[in-house]
Amino acid sequence: MKHVLLCMMALVMGAWLPTASAQEPNYILGAGDVVRITVFNNPDLTLETRISEADSISFPLIGQVKIGGISTFSAEKRIAGMLEKGGYIKNPQVNLLVTQFQSKLVSVLGSVFKPGRYPLERTTNLADLLALVGGVTPDGSDLVTVTNASGKTEYDLQKIVGKADGLKSIILSGGEVVFVHSRDISVMGQVLRPGKYAVVGGVRTVSDFLSVAGGITPTGSDTVTVTTVRDGKINRFDVDVDSLFRTGDNSENIELTSGDSIYVANAPMFYIYGEVQRPGSYRIVRGMTVMQALAQGGGTTLRGTQRNIKLNRRNAKGETVVVRPALTDPVLQDDVIYIQESLF
C-alpha cells in the first residue's frame, strides 16, 4: 500500500506549485491573506498589505476597501471602480496578486512526514495535500480522518486510491483538520508476530488483527483479552477465539480503532509424569478430561495403568491436595497428573 501511495504522491506533487500563474481569478480572498496590488503606469500606487479581520485594506487615494469574501477578479474591479469614480485615474488597470495565502488553512496531523498548517491558494483535494506534506510515514495507517464544521469523516485510503477519481474526489476548501492515523493497534502475547498494526482496508476486527499477527501460538489461550478506548473510557473484556472465526457470529468480533489492543495470554497448562510415553507439560484444551490428558502424554507405558492415577491439585485455599480422579473428570490449570507403576 505504501508503494501505491508514494507513486500517487509523485504524480500529484507537481500540482501544488504556489506561483503567480497558478492563481485562480476565482480565489476568494479572506482575512490574513497578503496581497500585492499594482496599477498600470502608476507605480506610486503599488501596495503590499494584509487583509484585516474586517476583510478590508487601506488603499492610497480611496481609503478603506472591503475585499475579503470576494474573488481576486472582483477585488480588482472594485478598486478600479473606486479609483475611476473618485476622478483619480481614468480607465485604471488594476492587478491583484496574493503573495501569502493565510485565510484558508488546513491542519495536517498524525503520521505524515511534514505535519503542520498549510494555506490553500485554491480549493484542493486530499491527494494534493498528502503530496504537499511528504506522504504517509512507514508507521502510518491507511485510515485518514477529515474534520470540518460539519463533523468527522473517515476515509480508508486503500479502498479509494484505486478508483478513477480516488483521493481527488475528497475536496478541501480550508478550515479542515486532516489526521492520518498510525499503526497503533497492539497485538501482544502469544501470537506469532506480536507488534503494532494499522487499521487498513480489510483489517479492522479482532479476528483480522489476530490473522495479520500470524495467529495464536500453540501455547496461546483459547480466549483473548481486548482493550478498547471509547470516549476516554477504557473497556476490557475476554473474547472466545472460537466465536471470532465462527460463521455468522460477529457479536464479539468488534471493529477496533486507534489505541485499542489485543493480548493473548498463555493457555492454562497441566503436567503429566510417571509411566506415560511422553511426560511433560501440555496445553489444556477447553473441556479436556483426564482421559484426553492421558492421550496427550501418549498413553501409559507397559508398566503403567489407567487404574493407578494420582492427581495433585490446588484447592481454593492454595493448598495442594492429592485426589484419585475418574477418567471423565475435567483437567484444571496447573494440575499434576502422575501415572504410577503397576505391580500386577
Query: What domains appear along the chain, each with residue ranges and CATH number?
Result: 2-16+103-182 (3.10.560.10), 20-100 (3.30.1950.10), 185-264 (3.10.560.10), 269-341 (3.10.560.10)
**What is the pLDDT at residue 164?**
60
Higher pLDDT residue, 121 or 286?
Answer: 286
User: Which whole number is the average pLDDT over 168-191?
Assistant: 87
Phi, psi of 237 (to 5 degrees): -150, 155
Give the Å distances, CA to CA, from 337 to 165, 175, 271, 284, 304.
66, 68, 6, 13, 13
Instruction: Return the pLDDT at 288.
Output: 92
Strand-pairing partners, residue 118, are 106
pLDDT in tens, 217-252: 988 988 899 998 777 788 899 988 888 876 555 677
**Which of 15-24, 78-87, 268-277, 279-288 is the least confident region?**
15-24
The pLDDT value given to residue 5: 44
The per-residue pLDDT for range 10-36, each reduced to its tens digit, is 334 433 333 333 456 678 898 889 999
Q: How confident is the model at residue 38 (pLDDT cuts 50, 70, 90)?
A: very high
- Cell triple for 80: 478600479
Average pLDDT over residues 248-269: 83
Q: Does the pLDDT value for residue 258 go beyond 70?
A: yes
Whole-Å CA distances, 230 to 29, 74, 184, 233, 253: 40, 48, 15, 5, 16
CA distance 251 to 14: 47
Average pLDDT score over residue span 98-109 = 88
Q: How far apart are CA 115 and CA 134, in angstroms?
A: 9
245 vs 193 pLDDT, higher one: 193
Per-residue pLDDT at 12 = 40
- CA 134 to each of CA 5, 122, 171, 217: distance values in angstroms, whole numbers, following the listed order: 11, 19, 19, 39
Residue-wise pLDDT for 126-164, tens only, equals: 888 888 899 888 878 778 889 988 888 888 777 776 666
pLDDT over 70 (residue 344): no
* Amino acid 19: pLDDT: 33
CA 26 → CA 67, 175, 243, 301, distances in Å?
13, 18, 57, 90
Residues recorded for the chain: 344
Q: What is the mean pLDDT of residues 301-319?
A: 88
Tell whether the torsion through CA atoms of 64, 70, 75 and 77 is positive or negative: negative
Q: What share of the chain is helix, strand, coil (3-state, %, to 5)?
A: 20, 40, 40
**CA torsion angle 212 216 218 219 (round to 10):** 140
Could you tell me which residues come within 8 angstroms of residue 107 by beta carbon, excluding any fewer than 6 positions away? Answer: 116, 117, 118, 176, 177, 178
The Cα-based distances of 189 to 21, 117, 235, 238, 276 in angstroms read 57, 39, 19, 14, 31
Contacts of 105 (CB under 8 A, 6+ apart): 117, 118, 119, 120, 174, 175
Give the tens place of pLDDT for each residue, 196-222. 887 766 678 898 999 999 999 988 988
Is residue 4 pLDDT above 50, yes or no? no
Q: Which pLDDT score, from 0 to 100, does residue 234 have?
A: 86
In degrees rounded to 5, what are phi and psi of residue 159? -80, -30
Q: What is the pLDDT of residue 115?
A: 93
Q: How far apart are CA 252 and CA 271, in angstroms?
A: 32
Mean pLDDT throughout 81-103? 92
Cα–Cα distance, 171 to 153 (Å, whole number): 12
